[in-house]
Amino acid sequence: MKLLLLIVLILKFASSLRGGVNHLNMVLSDAERFKNVDSDKGAMKRVGSKFRNRIGSNEYPAESGRYRIYVSKACPWAHRTLIVRALKGLEDVISVTYTGPHLKHLKESFDPTQSYLYKGWNFDSEICVEPHGFEYLDELYEYAEPGYRESCPQRPSFTVPILFDDKTQTIVNNESGDIIEMLNADFNAFAKNAHLDLNPIALHEAQEQINAIVYPGINDGVYRCGFAQTQAAYEFAYNEHWKAMDKIENLLSEHPFLCGKQITLADIRLFVTLIRYDPVYYSHFKTSRNKLIEMPNLLRFTQAIYHLPGVADTVDIHFIKLHYFGSHDNLNPSGIIPKGPSLNYLLSSCA
């Protein structure tokens, strides 16, 4: 009987892992897979995603016009989904609801006695009308799962992107790594660029090796620098960040993209951090050893991705600065939004 139960459990687990080794890794969220190893009490620790359903099941079949993604144009994790949606030609298949630029009471979210004030991203009707009339993202989470706030083991997490099912009125998934995989593969019947595969099986292992450098050292690495609460935690994060940046700078001297000559999801994951680097992270998160303009291979890479069809339309540098410098009042109490730097060098055609 125990053996039979074990076999059933194994089969159920295996059936959830569509797509081979890459999905085996994605059973855990990026935050869970690449935890901050710094033991300093001042080190930033990111919470994992909770909603992990996938398109292709009987409950959530691939359909055109059924799903929408909630994104902030400021959030790099959400930005991933906008880029994949554009590259695949899914603009008429997956709708988008944009948030405003601000996170309501972000500072209070880190204090257990005040975290009830945190509401997540705001909605601004002048930017985009939220279909339910919600003012803040926490309302959508509570709508999809009543009691969600109380269920969060630490600080409440109201993140984007969100893949939302308009038919069943619920959140399908809020893990960006999952969502970009689904946008790449599960809507090909409706995609204008179905032939484009950003996640080829032959490059799964290579992407995982890259992600193991890029996520903790660069994507989340800049946040670990910016939100460190002690000097020791900041210096640990800073050193790890620049180890990763130097490693990727050297790697990109060998070929145009991270896994060779073909663009993959790993490239999209890196680009969204690099496009924010000089206008935000260099100063705001104190990653200030080098600017992107001083890293020739990373700069060329960023220019190449930016000039792919549809990608430039997903980038809004002014909105990005409004969010970071306007929401992080613990890092920028004055709320002043910097006018610079000029990004003409960054947005020009690559050599």
CATH code at 175?
3.40.30.10
Tell me if residue 223 is catalytic: yes
127, 161, 185 — which closes off a domain?
185
Same domain? 163 vs 286: no
- Pairing type for strands 103-104 and 95-98 reads unpaired
Integer CA distances (angstroms), 65 to 166, 167, 191, 271, in order: 9, 10, 12, 28
- Give the SS3 label for residue 328: coil
Average pLDDT over residues 225-234: 96
pLDDT higher than 70, residue 14: no
Instruction: Tell whether 231 and 276 lie within a shared domain.
Output: yes
255, 327: one domain: yes
- Domain final residue pick, 155, 185, 215: 185
212 and 326 both lie in a single domain: yes
Same domain, 243 and 308: yes
User: Are residue 307 and residue 206 in the same domain, yes or no?
Assistant: yes
Q: What is the CATH number of the domain that holds 218?
A: 1.20.1050.10
Is residue 8 very low, low, confident or very high in pLDDT (cuts 50, 70, 90)? Answer: very low
Domain housing 337? 201-347
Assess whether 155 and 280 both reside in one domain. Answer: no
**350 part of the active site:** no
Among 223, 277, 281, 324, which one carries the catalytic annotation? 223
CA quadruple 116, 118, 124, 125: dihedral, nearest 10: -20
Identify whether 128 is part of a domain. Answer: yes
In a domain, residue 250? The reply is: yes
What is the reported pLDDT for 46?
57
Nearest residue to 54 (alpha-carbon basis) of 21, 91, 17:
17
pLDDT of 45: 62
pLDDT tens per residue, range 178-206 = 999 999 999 999 999 999 999 999 999 99
92 shares its domain with 135: yes
pLDDT at 167 exceeding the cut of 80: yes
pTM recorded for the entire structure: 0.88
Instruction: Name the catalytic one among 75, 118, 136, 306.
Output: 75
What would the pLDDT profile of 89-118 be if each residue is shown by its tens digit?
999 999 999 999 998 777 666 677 777 788
Whether residue 168 sits in one domain with residue 128: yes
Asked whether residue 83 is domain-assigned, the answer is: yes
Query: How many domains is the chain partitioned into structurally?
Result: 2
Overall average pLDDT of the 248-256 stretch:
97
Q: Is the same domain home to 213 and 158?
A: no
Classify residue 139: in a domain, yes or no.
Answer: yes
Tell me: do 156 and 116 sit in the same domain: yes
Are the C-beta atoms of 343 and 279 separated by less than 8 Å?
yes
In this structure, the answer to whether residues 60 and 176 fall within a common structural domain is yes
Is pLDDT at 280 greater than 90 in this prediction? yes
> Which parts are annotated binding residues for glutathione?
175-176
Work out the number of other CB atoms within 10 angstroms of the CB of residue 321: 20
Q: What is the pLDDT of residue 112?
A: 75
Cα(163)–Cα(148) distance, rounded to whole angstroms? 17
Cis, bond preceding 216 (omega within 30 deg of 0): no
